[in-house]
Structure 1
Amino acid sequence: MPDRQRVLILGGTSEAVDLANAVTDRFDIIYSLAGRTKEPSIPENATIRTGGFGGVAALSAWVRGHDVSLVIDATHPFAEQISANAANACKMTGTPRLRLLRPAWDTVPGDSWHRADDVADAARLLPLLGRAAFLSVGRKELNAFAGLRAMRFLIRTVDPLNSLPLLRAERIIGRGPFTLEQETALMREHKIDVLVSKNSGGNKTYAKIAAARILSIPVVMIKRPCFPSGVTVDNIGEALEWLKLREQKTT
């Protein structure tokens, strides 16, 4: 019986963990994380790798050096750099690559969305819509809002922040997923009148979008970046089918 294929899963999302857990009995899984969260969710029975690869050439060498047969990019929809590096590295090494990308959100009746091209565009729109903003954009993006000194901000992170570039901001710690009731109560308690969110998609963080709709709060929705071309699926079932086809080719 041939050795099991080695699959590198670029993770950091709930879908990545679920996929890895579903296939560790059939594949040798290496699960890679950026390492920005102190206690991330990780799959069972997988080799865990933490930290960056150092660019396209280094990732290509790593894939070759670790006998990786397949690469699945299941990173966050806004993880532009690693997705681009993975696409280029797989092209250089001839390694089959799959992008597992959760579906984006779209408006439903009752929503009041104001679409932004990027975080800077969101910061430009924000003062036109409210004075108390719940920023759900990730800690790396907070600098874009530093110039909005008249606004009040609510920031929620998984890990504590040592400092904030914002003049008037309240920090809270929390690890989702959060319920609709929790998100609605949070926005009411902090008198939020505008929400800023990346279009992360999926179900697990959608409650804040639904809460904004219930409370008639406008949402500044930051659109997703462009993705490298290649085979893309939007659910774990299709990812499993892709893996099954490649597993059959080796038997």
Structure 2
Amino acid sequence: MVLFLAGTSDARDLAVRLNRARISLLATVVTESAAKSLREEGIPVRVGRLTAEEMAGLIRVQGCNRVVDASHPFAEEASKNAMEAARICGIPYIRFERPAWIYGNHPGICIVSSYEEAAEEAARRKGVIMLTTGSKTLATFTKRLLPDPEILLVARMLPRKDNMEKCAELGIEQKNIIAMQGPFGKELNIALYRHYGVTTVITKESGKAGSVDEKVEAALDEGIGVILIARPQLDYGTSFSSAEEVVAALSKGGE
């Protein structure tokens, strides 16, 4: 039995492949919407965030003998918890890391290493800032950017009730919220940038599977500056970037 950290579209595809390869797994996801697509494939799912200790407890109860971490490239806490849980239980940890997007050295892209650094860079630039980094770190940006009268902050995120409540709590007006579920094509990105008169886009290097290329290329074509947050640097140990490699590794190790 494999404890499988999922949640993204490519993680779901990998889970389906493992299931069809007769590798038994229990998937863990954060939201019910992510769970629904896995359950439709007959994959058992546990919903909710887990600490390292809770994850270790689940491993013991379910009799899992491996952990496959296919969480989002920016789900740093989840990955750390998974590695620690595997260590506590003395079982192998395998990371499935979606390939990075190669963005080159375009002068319109400013690479930063943290959300705080991105907020500071946006504050320096002023203008209309479109934030596409999700709700989890929203407060980092609202605290730094909303008080500035020379900045208009537009937040793009998933159309979930808790996200809208967080926007309201942090002071983002409804007219400046784009509640849509991607992925978005280049044309739609351009239309949104033009509609709001965006001057800077803040996004994360979440790979082509996360459509970062569509967001960035659309912005650069429109002459809009991009603040790109680099991925967290974690030492995952055993790591693969393709579903084929993960299936092969797990098949070789037995169930």
Under a length normalisation based on structure 1, what TM-score does the superposition of the two structures give? 0.88
Secondary structure of residue in 2 paired with 1:32? strand
Residues 7/226 of structure 1: CA separation in 2 closer, same or farther (3 Å cut): same
Matching residue of 1:104: 100
Task: Determine the C-alpha separation between the residues in 2 that align with 1:86 and 1:204.
Answer: 22
Task: Determine the C-alpha separation between the residues in 1 that align with 2:56 and 2:45.
Answer: 18
Q: Higher helix proportion, which one?
A: 2
Secondary structure of residue in 1 paired with 2:136? helix
Task: Determine the C-alpha separation between the residues in 2 that align with 1:202 and 1:208.
Answer: 10
Task: Determine the C-alpha separation between the residues in 2 that align with 1:211 and 1:111.
Answer: 15
Q: Does the CA contact (< 8 Å) of 1:142 and 1:166 recur in 2?
A: no
User: Aligned partner of 1:232: which letter?
Assistant: S
Candidates 188, 197, 205, aligned match of 1:191: 197
Q: Which moved more, 1:70-79 or 1:164-173?
A: 164-173
1:211 Cα deviation after fit: 0.6
Matching residue of 1:181: 187
Task: Determine the C-alpha separation between the residues in 1 that align with 2:231 and 2:140.
Answer: 17
Q: Does the CA contact (< 8 Å) of 1:84 and 1:228 recur in 2?
A: no
Q: Which runs of 5+ in 2 are unaligned?
A: none
What per-residue deviation string (whole Å, max 9, x for no partner) do you get for residues 192-242 of structure 1?
110001111133422111111211211111121121331111121222221
Matching residue of 2:165: 162
Matching residue of 2:152: 152
How many residues end up aligned between the 2 structures? 240
What per-residue deviation string (whole Å, max 9, x for no partner) do you get for residues 56-115 of structure 1?
233222201111122110101111111111111112212121111112223246561112
1:167 Cα deviation after fit: 5.2
Q: Which runs of 5+ in 1 are unaligned?
A: 1-5
Residues 111/101 of structure 1: CA separation in 2 closer, same or farther (3 Å cut): farther
5 Å matches for 1:26-65?
26-35=22-31, 39-40=33-34, 42-43=37-38, 44-53=41-50, 55-65=51-61
2:215 aligned with 1:208, yes or no? yes
Secondary structure of residue in 1 paired with 2:25? strand
Q: Does the CA contact (< 8 Å) of 1:59 and 1:86 recur in 2?
A: yes
2:1 aligned with 1:9, yes or no? no
Q: Does the CA contact (< 8 Å) of 1:74 and 1:99 recur in 2?
A: yes
Residues 203/89 of structure 1: CA separation in 2 closer, same or farther (3 Å cut): closer
Task: Determine the C-alpha separation between the residues in 1 that align with 2:16 and 2:208.
Answer: 19
Matching residue of 1:21: 16
RMSD: 1.9
Task: Determine the C-alpha separation between the residues in 1 that align with 2:115 and 2:17.
Answer: 35
Task: Determine the C-alpha separation between the residues in 1 that align with 2:89 and 2:102.
Answer: 36
Secondary structure of residue in 1 paired with 2:73? coil
Residues 140/156 of structure 1: CA separation in 2 closer, same or farther (3 Å cut): same
Candidates 82, 91, 94, aligned match of 2:78: 82
Residues 167/14 of structure 1: CA separation in 2 closer, same or farther (3 Å cut): closer
5 Å matches for 1:64-79?
64-79=60-75
Q: Percent identity?
A: 27
Task: Determine the C-alpha separation between the residues in 1 that align with 2:233 and 2:105.
Answer: 27
Matching residue of 1:240: 247
User: Aligned partner of 1:69: which letter?
Assistant: N
Task: Determine the C-alpha separation between the residues in 1 that align with 2:251 and 2:242.
Answer: 15
